[in-house]
Amino acid sequence: MPTEIRALVVTRDPAMADMFSGGFRTLGVETQSVDDLISAANPWLRSKVEAVVVDFDGLGDELSIFEELRKNPSNQNAIVIAVATHPSVSQTASANGAQFIVQRPFLSEQVHRAIRAAHGLMIQGRRRYFRLSASLDVSLIRDSGETIECKSINLSRNGMAVDTPQPLKVGESLTLSFLAPPSQADMTIRAVVVWDDNHGKAGLRFGRVSHHVEEHLHAWLDDECLIWHKVS
């Protein structure tokens, strides 16, 4: 099932929680509000969070907790919106990765502008790391000239997993070829084998590709990503 885009709002200010949560929800973002960073740790660490709104005005001694949570590999790229009114607090927020800073008293347009901008970055991030499940006919051409016919399992901008009738050697460079929908464009890409489970499945990382191939591949995956989010 598609995973929803998620945001977390950390504040003891009910008005702030309502404003940011409501703004994100109008854009289809699942949003949770918590009072403090200790309470935030559980949802932050246990699920993918793509945006975090943090009340730096009320952060106080919890700054060290925020720094630790930011190190969580699955969420370290989360977009951070900070509420930071005083210059010193704004500086602290910027130093801790805040891409957007909103000041009190809140202006509705300022808040909504920050939310819309953050949402745009969240969608860009989803597109960049989107992995499409697809069963395509793929030809793997080894440098020796041997061709292995296989099926794709999934693919992204950076690589592909395949179902192959014979093991591949990790570190091996080869050429893969497949037809990409919707126009059945010929995709010929150099790739490196990065894993093989010895049970018929292997992972390939794409090397440098031509501008034509990159443009078509990215456009196709972006379209599929948008469809994927609409049905979620």
CA distance between the termini of the chain = 8
Give the three-state DSSP class for 92: helix
Strands 147-155, 137-142: parallel, antiparallel or unpaired by DSSP?
antiparallel
Percent of the chain with pLDDT over 70: 94
Span 74-102, pLDDT tens digits: 677 888 999 999 999 999 999 988 999 99
Contact 20, 44 (CB under 8 A): no
List C-alpha distances in Å: 156 to 66, 90, 224: 31, 37, 11
Contact 83, 11 (CB under 8 A): yes
Alpha helices in the chain (DSSP H): 14-25, 37-46, 63-69, 87-95, 108-129, 211-231
pLDDT for the residue 226: 65
Span 5-63, pLDDT tens digits: 889 999 999 999 999 999 999 988 889 999 888 888 877 777 778 899 999 998 877 88
pTM of the model: 0.61
pLDDT for the residue 44: 76
Q: Assess if CATH 2.40.10.220 describes domain 132-231.
A: yes
pLDDT at 231 over 50: no
pLDDT for the residue 203: 94
Q: Which CATH number fits domain 6-129: 3.40.50.10420, 3.90.1520.10, 3.40.50.2300, 3.40.640.10?
A: 3.40.50.2300
Span 146-180, pLDDT tens digits: 999 999 999 888 899 999 999 999 999 999 999 98
Domain ranges of the chain: 6-129, 132-231
pLDDT at 227 over 90: no
